[in-house]
Amino acid sequence: MPPSVVDRDSARQGFSWASAGSELDGLPGGAGLNIAHEAVDRHANGTGAGRIALRWLGRDGTRRDFSYAELRDLSNRFANALRALGVAPGDRVVSLLGRVPELHIAALGTWKLGAVFCPLFSAFGPEPVKTRMEKSGARVLVTTATLYQRKVAASRAALPALEHVILLGDAEDTSAGTPVLNWPQLLAAASPAFTIPPTDPETPALIHFTSGTTGMPKGALHVHAAVLAHHVTGRVALDLRAGDIFWCTADPGWVTGISYGVIAPLSNGVTCLLDEADFDARRWYQLLAAERVTVWYTAPTAIRMLMKAGPELAREYDLTALRFLASVGEPLNPEAVVWSQEVYGRCFHDNWWQTETGGIMIANLAAMEVRPGSMGRPLPGIEAAIVRRTADGGAEELTAPDTVGELALRPSWPSMFRAYWGEPERYAKCFAGGYYLTGDLARRDVDGYYWFVGRADDVIKTMGHLIGPFEVESILLEHPAVAEAAVIGKPDPVAGELVKAFVSLKGDRLPDDLLRRELLGFARTRLGAVVAPKEITFLPSIPRTRSGKIMRRLLKARELGLPEGDTSTLEEPAH
């Protein structure tokens, strides 16, 4: 079967978001556009009613299927329950949950009512949870009794907007006089019939929190119109089609887990897998084989962990159902692309987007030549450019091939964020000269492929040369002793900055001076004297955000003895 998009250039010609809107139904009677209707109800009300929408695999071996009709009815019950509690359109409903189906139901029901859904990562500590709930002004929290007691109860007095806490399971109220509600009882008492009210496409639907390099987390606001971008990019960039078994491994506490774990696949009528358990290479291969996964969307960190587990493990399982593999979260190293082709017979297709863009902007499509290390080319409906900021606050496009500048996008796509919640000045700083300025440095080659260089504040300037840490990290990862690598610029009185690398090793290698000299020589040979690191420090693991991005600013702060700033998204060290 050919890919959904056979020729990218032809697909871009004549594309418009207005015409793409015909792929969605809209609410009955022209009453607007609602994410939940497009994701679930339009299938459940037609021939897709009995199709499996969500397959949940519990960490204890529990397995539960939800048809599109069941998701419709359960989310209707939650919408009715919220309405009975006095929740109004525009109120914020926060989830603090792991990979459980109740999160999907809560999100869909919130959107049906016209309230704003705000997912939080369940592994956050009490302080980041409190900060984000304060900033969102959350009126409702959906969580478990354990998570509530560990991460919210002590802060309840500091959250005056929070009126309702809904706990999963049959836990008793242990909140010292503060009322909580029981999810099963709440849904059982609510009707499975609900009519979605008229929904303007610009109605707020989602707040996703994202940490910047400095300052407190910011809440990117998205609207119901975003569902069109999710639907189209799911079809175009991930090659989704009805009948697919799709596994997005991202946690639904993050933007990828909502955009491409919930909205995009459901709107395209596929069966989504949701695995409650943490990463385990053998379990993942068992799942891919047993469930006959056809499209797999995962992160470079996970891919490198699978590489570390070795090709022999992968070859124990029948992975022939896999049709398309994609990567998200951080740039995918070229070595991983080559490895996946050798081991799976198909390569991972990298793509690029941000919390602020809401959906995939640049990608390696199924029918495109994949250039390992490249993020690909802009999707239909996306106009990208390489620019430099000008002294007058504008932006000037850089048209020469392979010129490094800031990646910028013309604001036109439906999933573009509409605000930073409560921070209009911070939002305004993201735009200049008719562009949304992403803060990512990149280059565009002569054939229009985009290559990630680094964050604007991660790029190293040494002896007049701009060096992207990703390029250096990719080479270090090709050495057989290296499991992970991160690169920063270290101040130097002569060169301006020196390239310094932090490396974690594979289990059988010792972090000694002999290996350090070997790695320095290896990098110098591959990268040249200017680009190669001058120093290497061995670490047990490289600090990352929970979505897999290297926290280079944290490494730099520690190296220079500076304040570490917001570390709420720091990944727990592996044990």
Above 50 in pLDDT, residue 575? Answer: no
Above 60 in pLDDT, residue 174? Answer: no
Token match 């220079």: residue? 560
Flag whether 566 is in a domain. no
Domain endpoint, select from 397, 412, 444: 444
Are 270 and 68 a contacting pair, CB within 8 Å?
no
| CA nearest neighbour of 383 among 362, 401, 410 | 410
Rounded Cα–Cα distance for residues 144 and 171 (Å): 8
Sequence-distant (≥ 6) Cβ neighbours of residue 429 within 8 angstroms: none
Mean pLDDT for the chain overall: 92
pLDDT at 83: 98
| CA nearest neighbour of 442 among 478, 498, 414, 401 | 401
Answer yes or no: do 173 and 293 share one domain: yes
Flag whether 575 is in a domain. no
Flag whether 565 is in a domain. no
Domain count, the chain: 2
Above 80 in pLDDT, residue 30? Answer: yes
Above 80 in pLDDT, residue 175? Answer: no
- CATH number for the domain spanning 12: value is 3.40.50.12780
Answer yes or no: do 503 and 355 share one domain: no
Encoded tokens for 296 = 């797999």
Per-residue pLDDT of 192-227, as tens digits, reads 999 999 999 999 999 999 865 445 788 999 999 999
DSSP 440-466: EEEEE-TTS-EEEEEETTT-EEETTEE
Mean pLDDT, rounded, for 538-557 = 89
CB-based burial, 112-145: b 16+ in 10 Å, e otherwise: bbbbbbbbbbbbbeeebbbbbbbbbbbbbbbbbb
Per the model's pLDDT, the better-predicted residue between 179 and 350 turns out to be 350
Q: Rounded to the nearest 10 degrees, how much is the dihedral formed by the CA atoms of 274, 106, 206, 24?
A: 80
DSSP state for residue 94 in the 8-state scheme: E
Per-residue pLDDT of 389-448, as tens digits, reads 999 989 999 999 999 999 999 999 999 999 999 999 999 999 999 999 999 999 999 999
Per-residue pLDDT of 62-99, as tens digits, reads 999 999 999 999 999 999 999 999 999 999 999 999 99
Mean pLDDT, rounded, for 177-186 = 83
Answer yes or no: do 190 and 102 share one domain: yes
Mean pLDDT, rounded, for 262-270 = 98
Answer yes or no: do 361 and 394 share one domain: yes
Flag whether 573 is in a domain. no
Above 60 in pLDDT, residue 151? Answer: yes
Mean pLDDT, rounded, for 32-44 = 98
Answer yes or no: do 373 and 490 share one domain: no
pLDDT at 213: 45
Rounded Cα–Cα distance for residues 468 and 65 (Å): 45
E-assigned strand segments in 49-175? 52-57, 63-67, 92-97, 116-121, 140-143, 164-167
Answer yes or no: do 392 and 310 share one domain: yes
pLDDT at 337: 95
Domain endpoint, select from 411, 444, 477: 444
Rounded Cα–Cα distance for residues 17 and 382 (Å): 10
Encoded tokens for 166 = 């809904």
pLDDT at 170: 60
Answer yes or no: do 355 and 430 share one domain: yes
Answer yes or no: do 428 and 543 share one domain: no
Flag whether 131 is in a domain. yes
Above 70 in pLDDT, residue 136? Answer: yes
Mean pLDDT, rounded, for 278-302 = 95
pLDDT at 574: 40
DSSP state for residue 505 in the 8-state scheme: E
Above 90 in pLDDT, residue 50? Answer: yes
Domain endpoint, select from 402, 420, 444: 444
CA distances from 190 to 34, 155, 186, 202 (A): 21, 30, 7, 28
Encoded tokens for 277 = 């358990």
pLDDT at 414: 98
Distance between start and end Cα atoms, the chain = 43
pLDDT at 548: 79
Answer yes or no: do 522 and 391 share one domain: no
Are 233 and 256 a contacting pair, CB within 8 Å?
no
Per-residue pLDDT of 152-162, as tens digits, reads 999 999 999 99
Which pLDDT band holds residue 460 (cuts at 50, 70, 90)?
A: confident
- CATH number for the domain spanning 513: value is 3.30.300.30
Rounded Cα–Cα distance for residues 398 and 413 (Å): 22
Answer yes or no: do 467 and 372 share one domain: no
Flag whether 3 is in a domain. no
Stated length of the chain: 575
Per-residue pLDDT of 315-337, as tens digits, reads 999 999 999 999 988 888 899 99
Determine the structural domain holding residue 195 and report its residue range.
8-444
Are 438 and 354 a contacting pair, CB within 8 Å?
yes
pLDDT at 18: 94
Flag whether 451 is in a domain. no
Answer yes or no: do 75 and 192 share one domain: yes
Answer yes or no: do 386 and 526 share one domain: no
| CA nearest neighbour of 257 among 121, 141, 126 | 121
Are 407 and 438 a contacting pair, CB within 8 Å?
yes
Flag whether 102 is in a domain. yes
